[in-house]
Amino acid sequence: MASGVTNYQCPDCTGPLKFSSETGKLECEYCGNSYEVSVIEQLYADKEQAAAEVKPINWGADEAGTQWSAEEAAGLRAYSCPSCGAEIICDATTAATSCVYCGNPTVVPGQLGGNLKPDYVIPFKVNAEAAKTALKAYYKGKLFLPKTFASGNKIEELKGVYVPFWLFDGKADAQVRFSATIVNKYRSGNYDVTETKHYRVLRNGKLSFEKIPVDGSTKMPDAHMDAIEPFNYRELEPFSTAYLPGYLADKYDVDAQESCERADRRIRTSTVDALAETMTGYTSYTVEHSDIDLEMGKVSYALLPVWMVNTRWQGKLFTFAMNGQTGKLIGDLPISKGKMWAWFGGIFAALFAVFRFVVFR
């Protein structure tokens, strides 16, 4: 056995394996399967070797984006938030009165400096009025929403923001080994029989990926960005400052090189998922081993459109975000305890009145 302490898991159900002194095998108390020690050791040795062989590939991330020209920089303004550190840019005619991320009312204006010019942009397709209408509809019917939170002033704070993304192209040549089962249940005489057949299945294939997105801003909540995806990358346009008037743009604080590792993980995960989709006809399956070779491709820097409003309520930050291209939205909402207890109090009073009527009539 391995010199270190290892918790072996069942290849079929991922339950813990225990050594049986009676059979001399590793047994799973959940699915009842048993394995030779040498088989499990080899399986884990393969996994360790595969993990050791995984090396980040050189994406050539330095090629993403270009430098701002002096003329472009002169026509832009930068705002810095002293509260959360966010840096946003906009054209000279657009004023930023508060931070789009933390709601801080004070932002410090300055000249644009540093960071790269994007390669592409997806222009806003959902206008401000449509976004505000959607936010009002999202608030509607929320019984416990604080009155001041849903006020018109909050809705008017909605801002259009271009969020920075790194887009990765690449190819994957993969082979994945699955452990699968087919379960048949039938009745034989007076018995209910469950028959489980076990299979080892190999899948391999080559996949091409275009524009795998990795968020370049630590301030944008990943959960919100995931919730409003996907964006239609067919509508990417070559970047121009002509798309900025009336909107803000976040300056990335995670560069392309720092994003490579996450891009690798997303491509590897997507590759395994794509091959797993071919595992039809089986009752269950788990991944035993994967061998994926990645070939680097182009890395691009793009700005994607998002409508946002951040509001603080009782010390907590609540974020509403909408895909500025498709209109898909997500939002955090606070609960007014006063409204909640008043509602429950009304229900209790009504029930008590019915109780008195029934008992004392």
In a shared domain, residues 17 and 158: no
In a shared domain, residues 36 and 163: no
Q: Name the residue range of residue 145's domain.
A: 61-169+207-264+298-343
Amino acid occupying residue 184: N
Residues with Cβ within 8 Å of residue 126, at least 6 apart in sequence: 134, 305, 307, 322, 323, 324, 325, 326, 327
In a shared domain, residues 99 and 22: no
pLDDT of residue 244: 83
- Asked if residue 353 is part of any domain, the answer here is no
Nearest to 292 by CA among 326, 317, 269, 316: 269
pLDDT of residue 71: 73
pLDDT of residue 284: 92
In a shared domain, residues 27 and 161: no
In a shared domain, residues 225 and 306: yes
Reading the block at residue 327, the tokens are 């209109």
Residues with Cβ within 8 Å of residue 145, at least 6 apart in sequence: 139, 333, 334, 335, 336, 339
Please identify, among 32, 53, 74, the residue that sits at the C-terminal boundary of a domain: 53
Residues with Cβ within 8 Å of residue 326, at least 6 apart in sequence: 125, 126, 228, 231, 232
In a shared domain, residues 43 and 73: no
In a shared domain, residues 18 and 135: no
In a shared domain, residues 5 and 88: no
pLDDT of residue 227: 84
In a shared domain, residues 40 and 81: no
Amino acid occupying residue 343: W
Nearest to 238 by CA among 302, 333, 289, 168: 302
Q: Which stretches does DSSP call E strand in 216-283?
A: 237-238, 248-250
Nearest to 123 by CA among 241, 237, 249, 210: 237
pLDDT of residue 337: 47
Residue 15's domain is classified under what CATH number?
2.20.25
Residue pair 197/31 in contact (Cβ under 8 Å)? The answer is: no
pLDDT of residue 332: 64
- Asked if residue 22 is part of any domain, the answer here is yes
Q: Hey, is 57 helix, strand or coil?
A: coil
Between CA 307 and CA 211 the distance in angstroms is 22
pLDDT of residue 312: 66
Give the model confidence (pLDDT) of 181-215 as tens digits: 999 999 888 889 999 999 999 999 999 998 888 88
Total structural domains within the chain: 2
Between CA 346 and CA 352 the distance in angstroms is 10
In a shared domain, residues 234 and 330: yes
How many CB atoms neighbour CB 7 within 10 A?
6
Q: How far is CA 121 from the centre of its chain?
A: 20
In a shared domain, residues 163 and 304: yes
pLDDT of residue 342: 44
Q: Say if residue 344 is exposed, middle or buried (CB neighbours under 10 Å; 0-12, 13-18, 19+).
A: exposed
Between CA 38 and CA 133 the distance in angstroms is 64
- Given a cut of 70, the residues of the chain with pLDDT beneath it are 1-7, 13-14, 48-63, 74, 91-98, 103, 105-115, 139, 141-156, 311-316, 332-361
Between CA 84 and CA 99 the distance in angstroms is 9
In a shared domain, residues 48 and 80: no
